[in-house]
Structure 1
Amino acid sequence: MVKGISGGQKKRLTTGELLVGSARVLFMDEISTGLDSATTYQIIKYLRDSTHALDGTTIISLLQPAPETYELFDDVILISEGQIVYQGPREYAADFFAAMGFRCPERKNVADFLQEVLSKKDQQQYWCQYDYPYQFVSVTKFAEAFKTFVIGKRLHDDLDRPYNRKHNHPAALSTSNYGVKRLEILKSSFQWQRLLMKRNSFIYVFKFIQLLLVALITMTVFFRTTMHHDSVDDGIIYLGALYFAIVMILFNGFTEVSMLVAKLPVLYKHRDLHFYPPWAYTLPSWLLSIPTSLIESGMWTLVTYYVVGYDPQFTRFLGQFLLLFFLHQTSLALFRVMASLGRNMIVANTFGSFALLVVMILGGFIITKESIPVWWIWGYWISPMMYAQNAISVNEFHGHSWSKPFADQNITLGEAVLTGYGLFKEKYWFWIGVGALLGYTIVLNALFTLFLTILNPIGNMQAVVSKDAIRNKESRRSDRVALELRSYLHSNSLNGLKLKEQKGMVLPFQPLSMCFKNINYYVDVPEELKKQGIAEDRLQLLVDVTGAFRPGVLTALVGVSGAGKTTLMDVLAGRKTGGLIEGSISISGYPKNQETFTRISGYCEQNDVHSPCLTVIESLLYSACLRLPSHVNDDTQRAFVEEVMELVELNPLSGALVGLPGVNGLSTEQRKRADNRVHHPSAKY
């Protein structure tokens, strides 16, 4: 598929994924993110009607609901700084704060009022007891006052009263962990993974072509006209060819690491929601990997076996094919274990590379068995490559081409090659190798299932600075830095505006206007849509869009999810690298040059991208260091960064690690605040 769905459409998909089930209790976290108000209203209205009709339990977390959406709720829980400020009927929420001296204006959205009245910056505007001087009321005081409020007392009494279980029917509670029978789960999972393989067919085709090209190169290196069967030295060359085949098949499973790590968030989500047990994923993935192993091992054997000049017996050909097949299965299982154990691309790749290194070094070819130190000999016996190397070598050197007697000894030339290189010469080692690789495949897939069952995503590791530390830091802040910055701004201001004696600081920038005319944007129609009857080769996402952005004007781009808002902004900002763009874009009358335009523009993405290992303040300082003019010194940069952090209320999170989206670190709303630019571009998106 060429074009995916938008962020808002993904949010609707996530909501629909839960609604199609028969859940009696729904926990829905910020489902309005990325949705337009009309869609949010329709979803909440459906949830309210179904909750009332089915007597269900629904808890929805919303950041800033519209007034009509807020009116749909029965109860409201207001939480701040980890404390419950209000919990009870929606219509009494404003009355509680009115009793505390804060009144919601008539035309004010109550949901906005409930959030702003707890903010130190916005609370004072709602103070209504003019006979008394205003003093900031902390969240803790609100929480304590709620306990004495009539709703709080009623809630306390209800919680103290034991619940009568006679009112519940035994069938109301679920007695099974999963919604359908195991066979149905396995069947659905098999079909789902087969569809994913079809969607990712390009990756598998690329792997096949890559392996085919390497096999063709191998043919030219180990060509049968230069390969002989007359001496031990000739046998060593064949051992090298066999070792190279083993390494290529082993390495070809490394792509499982990145593919599985990308799937892990979905697998953990399905596991935690009890869609299916982990074995219902690992078993179909194992079964579906068998055809790819057959193709890859068969392709390598067919292309290289007779051209290289291995023993011409057909049974030897089948033996090598069988060995490479089981080796490929072992390789896939090994790297799946590494991915499920690492759970992170960097960690999993490190584990996978280390596993490859150990398996190759202790496999018996790079370092022979006799040369391995005693304290490392255990690694030789547990290396899958050792069993593969011995088995495939025994299969080759017990063939007819190597049955010549060797010197005056009572052994064949093939046995002499095996003995001379420290390999086992007994014929039964072929079946030992096959059995060992099969055993490794089973054990590693079992470990893969175990790790998916017991391990969770890498946890949240935050280092949040306390509020007291922030206050102390602010009190020690140098007034000299602020004065220096104001002096710099005053001397470099392009419009000659005088800076007022205030805490806020604004960096000067060149006002620019942007005009765009007849913008059309096309993408190739996906094959899936063509199969549904769409005859066009291109899909038009923007149609003759014309407009202008003027300096000093804050413009809102409004539309339902999937309307093309992100597409238009990407086109104007020059972030679209695919598709066809038509039309003209000019900056202050000049044609837009993307190389220079990027320098004076800032783009706050819908999906926030940050370095996960940096803290919030480190991310902003790094951006300021790279984007602010070079004559702004470090102290001035830091002063401005701290002003930006205070503006977007990031001070309590200054020492928190950003982390990975949906895994650890900052929340979605905090990431969006951290994405504010600190270099004051002429155009912001």
Structure 2
Amino acid sequence: MTSAYVSQYDVHYPDMTVRETLDFSVCCQGVGRAGIKKQVSRRKKGVITPEPVLDAYTEVISTKGTERSLQTYNILEIMGMENCADTMVGDAMLKGISGGQKRRLTTGEMIVGPAKVLFMDEISNGLDTSTTFQIVSRLQQLAHNTEATVVISLLQPPPETYNLFDDVILMAEGKIIYHGPCSDILGFFEECGFRCPERKGVADFLQEVLSRKDQEQYWSKVHESYSYVPVDQFSKIFASSCIGQRLDEELTKPYDKSQCHLNALSFSIYALPKWELFKACMGRELILMKRNSGVYIFKTSQVLFVAVVMMTLFIRTHMGVDILHANYYFGSLFYALSVFLTNGIPELVMTVTRLPVFYKQKHLYPAWAYAIPAAIVKVPISLIESFMWTSLTYYVVGYSPEPERFLRHFLVLFLVHQMSLSLFRFLASYFQTMVASTVSGTSSLVVIMFFGGFILPQPSMPHWLRWGSWISPLTYSEIGLAINEFLAPRWNKISTSNAALGQQVLASRGLNFNSYFYWISVGALFVNILLFNVAFTLALTFRKSPGEPRSVITRRARSKIHGVDRSVTAKLKSSVAPTPAATPTTSTKCKEMGRMALPFVPLTVAFRNLNYYVDTPTEMRKQGYARNKLQLLHSITGTFRPGVLSALMGVSGAGKTTLLDVLAGRISGGSIEGDIRIGGYLKVQETFSRISSYCEQDAVHSPHITVEESLIYSAWLRLPPTIDSHTRTKFVNEVLETMELDGTRDSLVGISGVNGLSIERRKRLTIAVGLVSNPSIIFLDEPTTGLDARAAAIVMRAVKNVVETGRTVVCTIHQPSIDIFEAFDELILLKRGGKLVYSGPLGQHSSNIIDYLEASCTVFPLSLLYFDTVKNTVKGLYDLELDTHLTYIVGKTFNDMLSEDMHFSC
């Protein structure tokens, strides 16, 4: 594989562990053994100077069977995920790793291979500063040492991370503003009349200097009046600059093939032979089947229960061998076929939910390597369910007692179940979405049953409609079961019409076929299974994945646009104003919002000696972890006060989200120890949920309503009924303006990664839905993750406005810029393992936290801390890996905080 693409979306199987996910990626990408084997051979021949350690490493990873676990361990160590290697990835419904850990897993899944060109989209979302710096520094070493090409898009790169890059590409509105060395970009903008302030990160400056609202504050030509410089003008200036002209010359120069590396291109589509890819996909399917064993056990139990019901309905003591009871036999046969036909519906849901992972990994293996194992692993399920059904019902109902007819009955039910599973897999792969697949699945069932021959027998159909019975798989299955039963010896009695009773019964339903037609029916079912599986493979191969996210607006909004709405024009004109933070009108507006806000009671959240335990995951026990309980939080003590914006920071997996979940009462399992008080009273979850709001980092919304309708719906559900409609609507509009969503109020939310709002707008909508409930306490889980510097500043400015109204607001935060970090009033810092490192005010320019760290120099090496900027201070906080928890809890800062916490708890 020559290149790899790391998406901004974290798409993984939630019921696989981190190690298993990386193992599969390592296996499919071949981990580049070919080049390593050549190097080992050259070392053995003495061409390369021997190095014992390096020789041992290359020897191990060049040996088939050992390289997989070693490469997986290596990437786990690089990504800092050793502690969660055996934890389920999880999703919105299954507890798993944190959002930052998922982002690291997405990155590690692709860079673990031998690709020489890496395209990485927003890999720092949800990661702390230290982890981002570590990953990018490793990528820098990879690029420099192996001559790889690495292109990374970042939203909020910290200064130390930005300094690792060699070149930068700055884009806006689809145009190149600058493409060249990082060291020359500030000089380029100074020539354009804009200068980066001393306490401003370069990356934040580059994003804001192109914004119409933020550009003026960076104007450096004091003797010239400022006028907005549009993107087109920046692009033209760059094209005419020496850097732009040099770039143009390089691009127009003919390519020198003599400089091409022999291994630069791969001439095979996949990294491994077909059989190896098949085994890898087969192994993964077995793991997924094991993890979803509860689903299959429930389905089998369901078949068992329905079989018992059928035994009571069609019991043999009430069934005779005559024309009258022949209809009962037909009813029991159709009932069995209907059960097995509808039993395949869960396969549709499971296939749709797994499609995003397949499309992400489509370049790792062919579609058939995914489709064939998906069909094979279901064969034992079909065998078990069909055999159980036949064993329980066949002789109780009173079918023909011959053993061979029992086996034929079982064979038809097995093939019907396999056909049903194959059909629903194909429909899911073709229609791709849950709604479309469900509609097509139910419609297909209606058509198959209508033409199946029982609801409307073939003789009763109009002549122009009889062809439909031959395209329904249910027709062949009914023919097979009917012939198997009614051509048995016991149905050979001569009836009054001088014909065998069984043949007379079959003729009445248009099924008067000879006994050999049973095998024709079996063959037809087998062909249907084959066709549906082939169609499933072709759909996976040729159907494209859902398109990129695009904004969808309603008809009302479209009519406004085409009608040149004057209000929209006025809003566009007003957007030319200077930076909102620097204008007096903005502060006036904030005060006005504070007066307009709905009334609420300011409340303090105080917690002391908070511990949280969960059951040790099974995979960790297999790896040798002996304890039955895993402690995620260790004696956490702190206070969140009204009118104070608190930051909750720590490395990925330190327990930030877990602490928020415990305080908000969103924990469904485990055990909690400690004291939590709201306004001095012990927390009661039933009332606490009415005065608090929790905004998750995953933006989950109804996709088929607009932004404004999402807020109105939330306001209807959560605001008291005493608030009249006019006040509620006014408050919704106020929240829309606060979150700067008023321009997209008529846009449909859409499906994430498919259509609708972008990631940053979804994040703002998530916060707006929480704010519209008018809470006293707001928990925000990583509100700036996935946003660029300006969008993050907008969100935090809105959050600050909420704090000024007297609400209690606490945010988990990753990679804050200097401006965002200094917007917080207090900080709670956690280290790995959920241990408290610091809790207290930041001070002016973070003076308090810096003084505390300087005073702890006996534990913290000063070489880890750089106090020239607040940003580097934050990085220093993340780099602390010693037992800072013990140092903190015996210090003066902890005792002062504990006294304050006791004061607010009273």
Fold in common (TM above 0.5): yes
Q: 2:637 corresponds to which residue?
A: 546
Structure-1 separation of matches of 2:504 and 2:611: 73
Distance 1:74 1:124, change over 3 A: same
Distance 1:49 1:160, change over 3 A: same
1:373-388 equivalent positions in 2, closer than 5 A: 373-388=462-477
Q: Are 1:575 and 2:669 matched, yes or no?
A: no
* Counterpart selection for 1:361 from 446, 450, 460: 450
1:279-428 equivalent positions in 2, closer than 5 A: 279-409=368-498, 411-428=499-516
* Contact kept? 1:3, 1:526, Cα under 8 Å: no
Secondary structure of residue in 1 paired with 2:614: strand
Q: Are 1:224 and 2:311 matched, yes or no?
A: no
Structure-1 separation of matches of 2:591 and 2:728: 15
Q: 1:250 corresponds to which residue?
A: 341
Q: How many angstroms does 1:618 deviate by? A: 3.4
Structure-1 separation of matches of 2:459 and 2:606: 76
* Contact kept? 1:505, 1:640, Cα under 8 Å: no
1:14-163 equivalent positions in 2, closer than 5 A: 14-163=106-255
Structure-2 separation of matches of 1:640 and 1:140: 39
Distance 1:596 1:136, change over 3 A: farther
Amino acid at match of 1:399: A
Secondary structure of residue in 2 paired with 1:603: strand
* Counterpart selection for 1:13 from 100, 105, 118: 105
Q: How many angstroms does 1:502 deviate by? A: 6.8
* Contact kept? 2:611, 2:673, Cα under 8 Å: yes
Secondary structure of residue in 1 paired with 2:650: coil
Structure-2 separation of matches of 1:224 and 1:468: 72
Structure-1 separation of matches of 2:734 and 2:262: 58
Structure-1 separation of matches of 2:478 and 2:517: 10
Structure-1 separation of matches of 2:183 and 2:716: 50
* Counterpart selection for 1:672 from 728, 745, 763: 763
Structure-2 separation of matches of 1:85 and 1:543: 49
Structure-2 separation of matches of 1:519 and 1:3: 20
Amino acid at match of 1:517: R
Once the two structures are overlaid, the 10-residue window that deviates more, 2-11 or 60-69, is: 2-11
Structure-1 separation of matches of 2:236 and 2:629: 62
Deviation string 1:31-62 (CA, Å, 9 cap, x unpaired) is: 11111111111110010111111111111011
Once the two structures are overlaid, the 10-residue window that deviates more, 130-139 or 234-243, is: 130-139
Q: How many angstroms does 1:243 deviate by? A: 0.8
Q: 1:491 corresponds to which residue?
A: none
* Counterpart selection for 2:282 from 190, 205, 223: 190
* Counterpart selection for 2:623 from 532, 535, 559: 532
Structure-2 separation of matches of 1:376 and 1:126: 76
Structure-1 separation of matches of 2:468 and 2:627: 59
Q: 2:707 corresponds to which residue?
A: 616
Q: How many angstroms does 1:144 deviate by? A: 2.4
Q: How many angstroms does 1:254 deviate by? A: 0.8
Once the two structures are overlaid, the 10-residue window that deviates more, 387-396 or 195-204, is: 195-204
* Contact kept? 1:457, 1:663, Cα under 8 Å: no
Amino acid at match of 1:393: A
Q: Are 1:237 and 2:328 matched, yes or no?
A: yes
* Contact kept? 1:461, 1:657, Cα under 8 Å: no
Amino acid at match of 1:161: K
Q: 1:682 corresponds to which residue?
A: 776
Q: 1:560 corresponds to which residue?
A: 651
Question: Could you tell me the TM-score, scaled by structure 2's length?
Answer: 0.70
Secondary structure of residue in 1 paired with 2:522: helix
Distance 1:335 1:559, change over 3 A: same
* Counterpart selection for 1:181 from 267, 273, 277: 273
Distance 1:181 1:541, change over 3 A: same
Deviation string 1:346-372 (CA, Å, 9 cap, x unpaired) is: 111111111111111110001111222
Q: 2:540 corresponds to which residue?
A: 452
Unaligned runs of 5+ in 2: 1-87, 89-93, 572-586, 780-906
Note the aligned Cα RMSD (angstroms): 2.4
Structure-2 separation of matches of 1:49 and 1:422: 75
Q: How many angstroms does 1:318 deviate by? A: 0.5
* Contact kept? 1:362, 1:380, Cα under 8 Å: yes
Structure-2 separation of matches of 1:631 and 1:121: 39
* Contact kept? 2:551, 2:758, Cα under 8 Å: no
Unaligned runs of 5+ in 1: 478-498
More RCO (CA 8 Å, sep 6+):
2
Secondary structure of residue in 2 paired with 1:585: strand
Q: How many angstroms does 1:520 deviate by? A: 2.6
Secondary structure of residue in 1 paired with 2:611: strand
Structure-1 separation of matches of 2:370 and 2:323: 48
Secondary structure of residue in 1 paired with 2:377: helix
Deviation string 1:640-659 (CA, Å, 9 cap, x unpaired) is: 55554454444554443322
* Contact kept? 2:552, 2:755, Cα under 8 Å: no
Q: 1:482 corresponds to which residue?
A: none
Q: 2:350 corresponds to which residue?
A: 259
Deviation string 1:200-251 (CA, Å, 9 cap, x unpaired) is: 111111111111111122112212222222x111111111111111111111
Structure-1 separation of matches of 2:643 and 2:156: 27
Once the two structures are overlaid, the 10-residue window that deviates more, 558-567 or 614-623, is: 614-623
Amino acid at match of 1:431: W
Q: How many angstroms does 1:585 deviate by? A: 2.3
Structure-2 separation of matches of 1:348 and 1:504: 50
The alignment-based identity, stated in percent, is: 50
Deviation string 1:146-170 (CA, Å, 9 cap, x unpaired) is: 2223222222222233323332145
Q: How many angstroms does 1:397 deviate by? A: 1.1
Q: How many angstroms does 1:261 deviate by? A: 0.6
Q: How many angstroms does 1:425 deviate by? A: 3.6
Deviation string 1:117-156 (CA, Å, 9 cap, x unpaired) is: 1223322222221112222322232222222232222222
* Contact kept? 1:390, 1:424, Cα under 8 Å: no
Amino acid at match of 1:445: N
Structure-2 separation of matches of 1:584 and 1:407: 87
Structure-2 separation of matches of 1:504 and 1:471: 27
Structure-2 separation of matches of 1:669 and 1:196: 33
Deviation string 1:550-583 (CA, Å, 9 cap, x unpaired) is: 0011111111111111111112112222333333
* Contact kept? 1:390, 1:433, Cα under 8 Å: yes
Once the two structures are overlaid, the 10-residue window that deviates more, 27-36 or 461-470, is: 461-470
Distance 1:216 1:474, change over 3 A: same
Once the two structures are overlaid, the 10-residue window that deviates more, 635-644 or 657-666, is: 635-644
Q: How many angstroms does 1:636 deviate by? A: 5.9
* Contact kept? 2:613, 2:670, Cα under 8 Å: yes
Once the two structures are overlaid, the 10-residue window that deviates more, 501-510 or 128-137, is: 501-510
Secondary structure of residue in 1 paired with 2:183: helix
